[in-house]
């Protein structure tokens, strides 16, 4: 079984990890659109076009399902894409429903990109959920995904500084939970906890996406509440649209930090040439 995972960059690796817990034997094709990242401050029309290009790449590589491991791309593109999709498309959206259910009192701080915060998809979701508009406080974190994506020597210090400056002031006394509405933010879970106070719960939508992927593929998800363990080896083909070598190495390091080593895969059939020719699919 082949599964396509798509993001602008390394945020989607956190979603890939969640999928690996439930479907450890699948062959994953990861597509990171580093040539156009970050997506959050671009126009929804541009993000839609790049998501469609990624989808076409996945189809040419013969996937059985595509996961949009990017809240921004889901917000901008999932609806038009699904209208003419040949395989199931699973989008990620902020885990607000879970936050509202698990924390029946108080405010919910939602951190996401500008496109996600201003998009109609979020507005509709908040309208649909009981007390959604009243309890959820969306905060656009422009530039934060960019800091995380660099993974350079001082990126964590810069992310901490960003959180202190921009996010900390938005934490009012009644807020007990933070929803991560961008997959990149999953890599700073601990910093968010630290900056906003250890008593705050932090939730993301990755496990929900992995379970939905299972359902769409006719596989029963493992367990109900607890996440199954990660496999030690995984079949993953990494493809980034710019700096493929550097980005793929980074992705492998992030996976290794979670105890997952990437088994070498043969080159993908029909994989389209990218900005770093010859490196696609490895
Ligand atoms: N990781 C993405 C998301 O979940 C996009 C971040 C970006 O490129 O701005 O929204």
- With a CB cutoff of 8 Å and minimum separation 6, the contacts of 128 are none
* Domain match, 14 and 68 both: yes
- Among the three residues 172, 204, 236, which one is the final residue of a domain in this structure? 204
Per the structure, how many domains does the chain have?
2
* Domain match, 128 and 88 both: no
Q: d(Cα 118, Cα 139) in Å, to the nearest integer?
A: 10
* Domain match, 127 and 219 both: no
Range of the domain at 18: 2-92+207-279
Write down the pTM of the prediction.
Answer: 0.93
Catalytic site positions: 70, 182
To test the ligand 1 pocket, which listed residue (113, 121, 146) has its Cβ within 8 A of the most ligand atoms?
Answer: 113
* Domain match, 102 and 180 both: yes
Supply the CATH number for residue 266's domain.
3.40.50.1860
Q: Which atom of ligand 1 is nearest to the CA of 116?
A: 10
* Domain match, 173 and 39 both: no
Q: Per-residue pLDDT tens for 197-255?
A: 878 999 999 999 999 999 999 998 776 667 789 999 999 999 999 999 999 999 999 99
- Among the three residues 204, 235, 260, which one is the final residue of a domain in this structure? 204
Using the mean position of ligand 1's atoms as its centre, give its distance from the Cα of residue 38 in Å: 7
With a 6 Å cutoff on the Cβ, whether 72 touches ligand 1 is yes
With a 6 Å cutoff on the Cβ, whether 110 touches ligand 1 is no
CA atoms within 13 A on the CB side of 87: 21
- With a CB cutoff of 8 Å and minimum separation 6, the contacts of 149 are 8, 9, 10, 11, 37, 38, 184
Sheet holding 233-240, edge to edge: 89-91, 65-68, 2-7, 27-32, 233-240, 261-263
Q: Per-residue pLDDT tens for 13-26?
A: 999 999 999 999 99
**What residue has token string 């933070």?**
178
Confidence of residue 282 (pLDDT cuts 50, 70, 90): very low
With a 6 Å cutoff on the Cβ, whether 212 touches ligand 1 is no
* Domain match, 31 and 126 both: no
Confidence of residue 280 (pLDDT cuts 50, 70, 90): very low
* Domain match, 188 and 224 both: no
With a 6 Å cutoff on the Cβ, whether 39 touches ligand 1 is yes
Question: Residue 218 has what pLDDT?
Answer: 94
Question: Residue 199 has what pLDDT?
Answer: 84
* Domain match, 197 and 100 both: yes
* Domain match, 40 and 134 both: no
Q: Per-residue pLDDT tens for 38-65?
A: 999 999 999 999 999 999 999 999 999 9
Q: d(Cα 211, Cα 207) in Å, to the nearest integer?
A: 6
> Is the separation of the CB atoms in 121 and 75 below 8 Å?
yes
Average pLDDT of the residues in 75-97: 96
pLDDT above 80 for 268: no
226 is in an annotated binding site: no
183 is in an annotated binding site: yes
* Domain match, 39 and 139 both: no
- Among the three residues 159, 176, 204, which one is the final residue of a domain in this structure? 204
Confidence of residue 196 (pLDDT cuts 50, 70, 90): very high
pLDDT above 50 for 274: no
* Domain match, 108 and 190 both: yes
* Domain match, 83 and 170 both: no
113 is in an annotated binding site: no
pLDDT above 70 for 27: yes
Tokens representing residue 276 in the block? 């770093």
Arithmetic mean of pLDDT over the chain: 92
């Amino acid at each position: 079984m082949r599964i396509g995972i798509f993001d602008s960059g390394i945020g989607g690796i956190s979603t890939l990890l969640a999928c690996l817990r439930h479907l450890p034997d699948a062959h994953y094709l990861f597509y990171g659109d580093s040539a156009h990242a970050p997506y959050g401050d671009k126009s929804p029309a541009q993000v839609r076009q790049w998501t469609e290009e990624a989808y076409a790449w996945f189809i040419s590589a013969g996937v059985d399902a595509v996961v949009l491991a990017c809240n921004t791309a889901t917000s901008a593109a999932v609806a038009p894409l699904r209208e003419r999709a040949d395989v199931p498309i699973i989008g990620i959206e902020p885990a607000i429903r879970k936050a509202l259910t698990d924390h029946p009192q108080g405010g919910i701080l939602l951190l996401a990109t500008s496109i996600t915060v201003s998009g109609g998809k979020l507005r509709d979701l908040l309208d649909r959920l009981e007390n959604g508009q009243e309890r959820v406080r969306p905060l656009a974190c422009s530039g934060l995904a960019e800091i995380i994506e660099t993974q350079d020597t001082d990126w964590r210090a810069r992310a901490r500084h960003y959180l202190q400056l921009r996010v900390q002031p938005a934490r009012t006394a009644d807020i007990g939970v933070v929803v991560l509405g961008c997959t990149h933010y999953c890599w700073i879970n601990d910093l968010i906890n630290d900056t906003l106070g250890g008593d705050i719960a932090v939730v993301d939508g990755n496990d929900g996406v992995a379970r939905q992927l299972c359902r769409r593929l006719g596989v029963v998800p493992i367990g109900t509440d607890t996440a199954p363990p990660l496999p030690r080896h995984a079949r993953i083909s990494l493809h980034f649209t710019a700096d493929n070598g550097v980005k793929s190495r980074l992705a492998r390091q992030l996976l290794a930090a979670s105890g997952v080593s990437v088994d070498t895969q043969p080159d993908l059939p029909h994989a389209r040439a990218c900005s770093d020719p010859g490196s696609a699919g490895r």
